[in-house]
Structure 1
């Protein structure tokens, strides 16, 4: 699955969901379950590539400003949310995390469910319920696409005092005065 097809699937599900993340998840699973098992695995691999690509200190800074804190799981789920917003928002955020100020509302941005859509679709497509080495997560991990271990955060680290100047639009919208 190439990048274009991945983003088409994400965008179609987002559009169909009209802002309902549970519906977006269900639409993704339904669409992926119609694909060949190999394509579902490729979707998982592409997702993990984007999760790793989004592992950047500026994205951490954005989440810190928005949520007031950052820890491992919420940071992962925030990157899932970012991918779930589609290619344009994702790409813009990687180029300039401050661009998120124009697309974010108050509240926690989390799309943990995105981590499981390929597995659920694979189960539906193949009828398998016991995970083995043919499952998308296991194949992706075997290819070194592990967002939990060995991933090195890109960019330059920051201190909290730098946040207002680092991401001024986000700071104005979400930061504490």
Structure 2
């Protein structure tokens, strides 16, 4: 090209460049909006109280299980002292359980197992798969345990509307969220000097059809944000 001549780009190429820039700016705005909404929901504005059906209705509760209100009261007590880390919350929960007798420890442990079994839901698993970029059966159990430690309202609202994980969830459940299911058993060992008797339980039955792994990422594309 001779000196002094101006380089002109085709109109179509210029239009495409503008569209890409606009798309990037829109994506950045959405990312920032989600980021600030997550901060607000997680630290300042709790979810509304859940008043829908529970997984352990009082009218049909077996005697060997705690009332749900008592179970969630212990979870909430641990939350107030362990918001900085999951392991810190489990330590606080262990201290709360240390004040219980062995019978109540068994009832707490069996209530936890009941809630884990009843929340074995395909829709929730599909969302956890999208959040974590993959989620094995063990990972999904750790995820449900983590979800319980977030309190009754967040547990039930997320079970009912899994997309709420965009505001309340986090990734890498499999790596750091194991342990809730062992807390009561450890305290029982300290008090009784023996293992907690195993409860008879039926195998988990998945609620809803098992999902296709690729479909999980397509159904919840917004939850991919948490992977990054």
TM-score in terms of structure 2 length: 0.64
The aligned counterpart of 2:6 is: none
Pick the aligned partner of 1:60 from 125, 131, 139.
125
Distance 2:152 2:211 in 1: 26
Give the greater-gyration-radius structure (CA): 2
Moved more, 152-161 or 23-32: 152-161
Q: Displacement, 1:34?
A: 0.7
Which residue is 1:27 aligned to?
92
Which of 182, 190, 197 is matched with 1:116 structurally? 182
Q: Which residue pairs with 1:3 in the alignment?
A: 68
Segments of structure 2 that go 5 or more residues without pairing to the other structure are: 1-65
Give, in angstroms, the shift of residue 167 of structure 1: 3.3
Aligned residues: 161
Which consecutive aligned stretches of 4+ in structure 1 deviate over 6 angstroms post-superposition?
Answer: none
Query: C-alpha offsets along residues 9-54 of structure 1, whole Å, 9 cap, x if unaligned?
Result: 1111012112311221111111111111111111001101110121
2:206 is equivalent to residue 153 of structure 1: yes
Give the alignment's Cα RMSD to 1 decimal.
Answer: 2.0
* Deviation readout 1:105-151 (Å, 9 max, x if unpaired): 3x31242110100011112333x0x42xxx15x1xx32x1x6xxx21
CA distance in 1, matches of 2:212, 2:137: 18
| Residue 40 (structure 1) aligned with residue 105 (structure 2) | yes
Could you tell which deviates more after superposition, 155-164 or 115-124? 155-164
- Cα distance in 2, alignment partners of residues 5 and 28 from structure 1: 13
TM-score normalised according to structure 1 size: 0.81
